[in-house]
Amino acid sequence: MLLVHVGLCSLLWKGLITELAPRFRCITLDVPGSGLSGPAPASPAAASDAIGRFIDRLDLRDVTLAVHDTGGWATMAAVGAERSRAERVSRVVAVNTFGWSPRGVLRLALLFMGSTVIRELTVWTGFLAWGSATRFGVGRHFDRATKRAWRRCLRPHSQRRFLHHMFAGAAKDRATSQAAERGIAALADRPTMTVFGRFGDYFLFRRGWRRIRPAMTDVTVPWGLHFPQSDNPALVARTIIEWRRNASAAEPTNAAATSATRSALSEKK
């Protein structure tokens, strides 16, 4: 299982990996410029390219993708950039994420959060680094040591800025959005599961996924917020394991599914 979040730190997958490790070979990464990676220019294209090269260099096969937030968009773009990558993916778990061109309220929110004022405010106050480590972020099941490690990931100002550059890029980078939509179309016949917190789907991502994946499996985490995989990792892991066991008979296949996805994405435009 390849777990991808782009913007903060891959440590947010800690609880879910702990639960899944007995059944899955779990791999995650911090793209250059984020998390525990070294400083690097922040751009959606560079993040997507790093994810794609990561998949290629490790020669990953039969991959279950678990993607969160802008990590879904960037990972779909990585798949869409190279046709052979789709063949490596067997399933998709979309955790409070999107994989299409941002429009409407979502695009406005990305532009707002990616603006210079908001970026520098969160960088210099450290509010996001502190707040995201609480029970309202990734920290509901973190012990003190893990919370300290999380905040260390976000201590450098360059790392704090990275997320906001990704927000702005997601709103403006049309080429990466087009690659993401190609990636979603290429994976149209793969079993897909969405995971949302009960109070976390404020951009109606579930509705977007339902439109392009009518037969998807949908999971709601009670009392979950923006990071449902951190709010209840045991529930999410158990659901993934059961779903993976039974998914092959539940999803649409090949040409019909691909056609339906392309049609839905065209309607979004």
Q: What is the pLDDT along the chain (269 residues), one digit of tens a residue?
A: 999 999 999 999 999 999 999 999 999 999 999 999 998 989 999 999 999 999 999 999 999 999 999 999 999 999 999 999 999 999 999 999 999 999 999 999 999 999 999 999 999 999 998 999 999 999 999 999 999 999 999 999 999 999 999 999 999 999 999 999 999 999 999 999 999 999 999 999 999 999 999 999 999 999 999 999 999 999 999 999 999 988 655 544 444 444 555 556 666 65
| pLDDT of amino acid 170 | 96
Measured CA to CA, the distance from residue 94 to residue 261 in angstroms comes to: 16
The number of folded domains in the chain is 1
Q: Is 98:106 a contact under the CB 8 Å cutoff?
A: yes
User: What is the residue type of 54?
Assistant: F
Tokens linked to 12: 């947010």
User: What is the residue type of 196?
Assistant: F
Cα 46 to Cα 50, 82, 99, 184, 195, distances in angstroms: 6, 15, 17, 19, 26
Contacts of 152 (CB under 8 A, 6+ apart): none
The answer to whether position 159 is within a domain reads no
Q: Is 92:62 a contact under the CB 8 Å cutoff?
A: no
| pLDDT of amino acid 39 | 87
Q: Which of 204, 118, 163 is nearest to 5 (CA)?
A: 163
Q: How many Cβ atoms are within 10 Å of 12's Cβ, its own excluded?
A: 25
Measured CA to CA, the distance from residue 269 to residue 263 in angstroms comes to: 10
Q: Is 67:37 a contact under the CB 8 Å cutoff?
A: no
| pLDDT of amino acid 249 | 53
Measured CA to CA, the distance from residue 179 to residue 101 in angstroms comes to: 10
Residues in a beta bridge with 95: 68, 195
| pLDDT of amino acid 263 | 57
CA angle (207, 257, 267) in 5-degree steps: 50
The answer to whether position 209 is within a domain reads yes
The answer to whether position 112 is within a domain reads no
The answer to whether position 137 is within a domain reads no
Residue 191 belongs to a domain with what CATH number?
3.40.50.1820
The answer to whether position 249 is within a domain reads yes
- Residue 46 structural domain: 2-101+174-268
Question: What kind and span of H or E run contains 161?
Answer: helix 157-172
Question: What kind and span of H or E run contains 223?
Answer: none
Q: Which of 153, 191, 236 is nearest to 64 (CA)?
A: 191
| pLDDT of amino acid 254 | 44
The answer to whether position 212 is within a domain reads yes
| pLDDT of amino acid 266 | 60
Q: How many Cβ atoms are within 10 Å of 92's Cβ, its own excluded?
A: 27
Q: Is 44:77 a contact under the CB 8 Å cutoff?
A: yes
The answer to whether position 10 is within a domain reads yes
The answer to whether position 61 is within a domain reads yes
Burial class (CB in 10 A: 0-12, 13-18, 19+), 254: exposed
For 39, which DSSP code? P
Measured CA to CA, the distance from residue 260 to residue 189 in angstroms comes to: 10
| pLDDT of amino acid 246 | 86
| pLDDT of amino acid 264 | 63
Measured CA to CA, the distance from residue 217 to residue 121 in angstroms comes to: 39
